Structure 1
């Protein structure tokens, strides 16, 4: 069995605010260790459950946050940016299951550091008319390649969100959301134990299913009109409201590639304090 971990940082043990996840800060250096510990706990459980190979795809910001020197010896690390499928790079390489580790809720939803790709300029994303977090988008991409979501870790609201897009997946809440920047957190020793146990049990869900390619529509709402204007210059993207754009794609793979382009262009149009 070959398993992939898509590892984000906002939903890692103890993370509650911007400084914890912004590369270069003192707090980020501290939470890199906790993030790596979450991943190692997951690899330990997956291996105990029968995984023969675990590939960890860094999915946060610079995608250079995990400490390779401290990584579980059985894991392989895909690190660095500009991957065609971003958070889900490798999902098309015949993996038998995927773990969403350190995930968070989507833009416009309650949850610790909730957002969808852009930290504070997207107010909502919809996949086929359903409000979508990164987890929902990535689960749809995994399903297209016949890969089940085995486990989701993050805050309690992230786990509740996962029930809507991966109802069979095991979940681990490493913290309880109080606000976007506050949570009741469990100590690393406790979360590591919970993640290992959950990873082991989640291996019962591993196993590829038939691929299912279908058309999808994504709509994105921004907090300012000029961001929608900028995104709408992308061919196939239409402006459907003053702050909202949408596009159709023949598959989820193509939809996510287009989504990546749209968010990159919108990010480039953000200007200092005024956004």
Structure 2
């Protein structure tokens, strides 16, 4: 049994504000061990429940945040940019039996600690086939396309509530409770490690591949400024759907996520530091 851990940082233990997750800040350095502790707890839980391999895919920002020197020696880590499938890199090789969404968060425009979807700001909402979509929701559609079930979700209480909509069978572990976008009631690393470990052990039983399910998907994005629409529609197939919205349809979720990456990259380059 092989488990892929997609490890994001906003939903990690102790993380509550931008400096906690921005590479190079003192707060980021402080939070890296807690992030690594969350991942180690999941690794331990999966292996204790019968997993043979665990691949940890760094999924946050520069994708160089976890402390390799503190990682459980029984796992391996994929770190750095750039990757074909970004947060789910590794799932496309037909050897992953289950995927864990660790340190995830609520989507753009929703209540949740550091809630966003791919871009820290600028994107104010994402919809997939008409349903409001967080990163977890989008990634669950991609995982399903490869026949891989979501077997664990961790993050704040809003993130685990969001998971009920896309992976209702998956065990969850809330490491903190939302107060505002930049505040939370946090549990200590020892407590969250225990919770994550137990949830991972439970989730291992769900790691059973299913037949791949490939179908078209329509994705719509809303931005905080109209000029972002002009930038996004440079990407082939992306069309304006409103004053601050664009939409596109792809033949598969694999292609939809690749287009999503292109759109967010182009839009990010069109945003100025002071005026957005």
TM norm structure 1: 0.99
- Is residue 27 of structure 2 the alignment partner of residue 27 of structure 1? yes
Distance, in Å, in 1 between the alignment partners of 2:124 and 2:27 is 27
CA shift for structure 1 position 263: 0.2
Q: Secondary structure at the match of 2:193?
A: helix
Distance, in Å, in 2 between the alignment partners of 1:40 and 1:97 is 17
CA shift for structure 1 position 92: 1.1
> Mapping of 1:94-173 within 5 angstroms?
94-173=95-174
CA shift for structure 1 position 233: 1.1
Distance, in Å, in 2 between the alignment partners of 1:238 and 1:169 is 35
Q: Secondary structure at the match of 1:98?
A: strand
Distance, in Å, in 2 between the alignment partners of 1:191 and 1:101 is 12
Report what 2:50 is aligned to: 50
Report what 1:195 is aligned to: 196
Q: Secondary structure at the match of 2:57?
A: strand
Distance, in Å, in 2 between the alignment partners of 1:201 and 1:241 is 44
CA shift for structure 1 position 8: 0.0
- Is residue 87 of structure 2 the alignment partner of residue 68 of structure 1? no
Q: Secondary structure at the match of 1:117?
A: coil
- Is residue 192 of structure 2 the alignment partner of residue 185 of structure 1? no
Q: Secondary structure at the match of 1:116?
A: coil
Figure out how many residues of one structure are paired with residues of the other and give that number: 275
How big is each residue's C-alpha offset from its partner over 1:201-230, in whole Å with a ceiling of 9 and x where there is no partner? 111111100100000000000000111110
Q: Secondary structure at the match of 1:274?
A: coil
CA shift for structure 1 position 82: 1.1
Q: Secondary structure at the match of 1:102?
A: strand
Report what 2:211 is aligned to: 210
How big is each residue's C-alpha offset from its partner over 1:183-214, in whole Å with a ceiling of 9 and x where there is no partner? 00000000000111111111111110010000
Report what 1:39 is aligned to: 39
Q: Which runs of 4+ in 1 moved over 6 A?
A: none
CA shift for structure 1 position 152: 0.2
Distance, in Å, in 1 between the alignment partners of 2:27 and 2:18 is 9
Report what 1:85 is aligned to: 85
CA shift for structure 1 position 235: 0.8
